[in-house]
């Protein structure tokens, strides 16, 4: 047996997130079923994180233990042939037997995209939050600068979170605008449940003047979810990169 690190890309629109659950189809379940067909045995798959329902991934990493009787190129070709069109395995790497896709990850980068200006684009509707009004990128970046650093992100997380340690370190957070498309990039050593989507929703409220950028410190100190902005829709969020 050997442990392999698999890199996936997927459109999360039709899935109830990554993790297997009883009430909906998930990426983990589909991948596990496909691996079982390929290898002939039930194979457990452990992901680098839990993406929410409707969230996408350009680079999602997971590990699995399997026999070494299939060459990597044949493994990738065979597995991709079994997977649906909205999930692709893009990388295969043998790793040490004690490697863990989640606990060995040093950080992740997410990108959230917003289409502004009232332009309706059916080809982007599954992948962006469409907002008719223009947004103030300057104000949003002023807010993003205050997100960078080590903070208790309780106020920027859903109460449904399953962890007690709510301190995270954000090394990058900024907004870019190209035409009508606004992209918020954020890199951290870890993320809480709905953390990125709440940060995005708060950035939009800051743009609208509902929250002042200088109030960010008070929001952190409050540890109160009600002090932050709305939770942005899942469809605009993409897991861009995982660092090991």
pLDDT digits (tens, 9 = 90+) for 2-60: 999 999 999 999 999 999 988 899 999 999 999 999 999 999 999 999 889 999 999 99
Residue with the two structure tokens 């991948």: 31
Bridge partners, residue 181, by sequence: 115, 178
Q: Which of 69, 95, 121 is the last residue of a domain?
A: 95
- pLDDT at residue 67, rounded to an integer: 84
Cα angle 31-35-41, degrees, rounded to a multiple of 5: 135
Same domain as 166, residue 50 = no
pTM of the prediction? 0.94
The first and second tokens of residue 54, run together, are 């409707």
Asked whether residue 230 is domain-assigned, the answer is yes
At 128 the three-state DSSP class reads coil
Asked whether residue 100 is domain-assigned, the answer is no
Q: At what angle do helices 72-82 and 27-39 cross, to 10 degrees?
A: 120
- pLDDT at residue 37, rounded to an integer: 95
Asked whether residue 23 is domain-assigned, the answer is yes
- pLDDT at residue 16, rounded to an integer: 95
Same domain as 129, residue 78 = no
Bridge partners, residue 107, by sequence: 243
- Round the average pLDDT of the chain to a whole number and report it: 95
- pLDDT at residue 119, rounded to an integer: 79
Same domain as 137, residue 234 = yes
Same domain as 166, residue 138 = yes
Give the span between the Cα atoms of 196 and 234, in whole angstroms.
Answer: 10
Going 39 to 17 to 106 to 167, the CA torsion angle's sign is: negative
H-run or E-run covering 110: strand 107-115
Structural domain range at position 44:
2-95
60-70 per-residue burial string, b: 16 or more CB within 10 A, e: under 16: bbbbbebeeee
Q: Where are the alpha helices (DSSP H) in 9-114?
A: 27-39, 72-82
Give the span between the Cα atoms of 72 and 49, in whole angstroms.
Answer: 24
Active site residue ranges:
52
Q: What is the pLDDT of residues 87-125, one digit of tens each?
A: 999 999 999 999 999 999 999 999 999 999 887 889 999
pLDDT at 161 over 90: no
Same domain as 228, residue 142 = yes
Q: Identify the CATH number of the domain in which residue 91 sits.
A: 3.30.70.580
Asked whether residue 101 is domain-assigned, the answer is no
- Say how far residue 10 (Cα) sits from the centre of its chain: 11
In this prediction, residue 240 has a pLDDT band, given cuts at 50, 70 and 90, of very high
Same domain as 67, residue 37 = yes
Q: Where are the alpha helices (DSSP H) in 106-215?
A: 137-147, 195-208
Q: What is the tally of structural domains in the chain?
A: 2
- pLDDT at residue 93, rounded to an integer: 95
By mean pLDDT, which of 135-144, 156-165, 200-209, 231-240 is the weakest?
156-165
In this prediction, residue 231 has a pLDDT band, given cuts at 50, 70 and 90, of very high
Same domain as 202, residue 149 = yes
* Cβ(28)–Cβ(45) below 8 Å: yes
Same domain as 137, residue 39 = no
């Amino acid at each position: 047996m050997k442990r392999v690190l698999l890199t996936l890309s997927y459109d999360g629109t039709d899935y109830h997130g990554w993790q297997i659950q009883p009430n909906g189809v998930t990426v983990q379940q589909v991948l596990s079923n496909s691996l079982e067909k390929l290898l002939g045995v039930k194979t457990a798959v452990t992901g680098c994180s839990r993406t929410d329902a409707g969230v996408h991934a350009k680079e999602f990493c997971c590990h699995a233990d399997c026999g070494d009787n299939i060459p990597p190129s044949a493994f990738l070709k065979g597995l991709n042939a079994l997977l649906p069109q909205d999930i692709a395995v893009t990388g295969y790497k043998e790793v040490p037997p004690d490697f863990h896709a989640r606990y060995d990850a040093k950080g992740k980068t997410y990108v959230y995209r917003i289409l502004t200006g009232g332009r309706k684009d059916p080809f982007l509707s599954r992948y962006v939050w469409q907002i008719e009004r223009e947004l103030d990128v300057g104000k949003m970046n002023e807010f993003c600068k205050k997100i960078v650093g080590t903070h208790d992100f309780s106020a920027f997380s859903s109460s449904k979170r399953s962890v007690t340690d709510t301190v995270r370190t954000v090394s990058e957070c900024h907004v870019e605008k190209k035409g009508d498309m606004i992209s918020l990039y954020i890199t951290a050593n870890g993320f809480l449940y709905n953390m990125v989507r709440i940060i995005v929703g708060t950035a939009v409220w800051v743009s609208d003047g509902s929250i002042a950028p200088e109030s960010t410190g008070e929001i952190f100190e409050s540890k109160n979810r009600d002090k932050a902005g709305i939770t942005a829709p899942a469809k605009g969020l993409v897991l861009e990169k995982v660092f090991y």
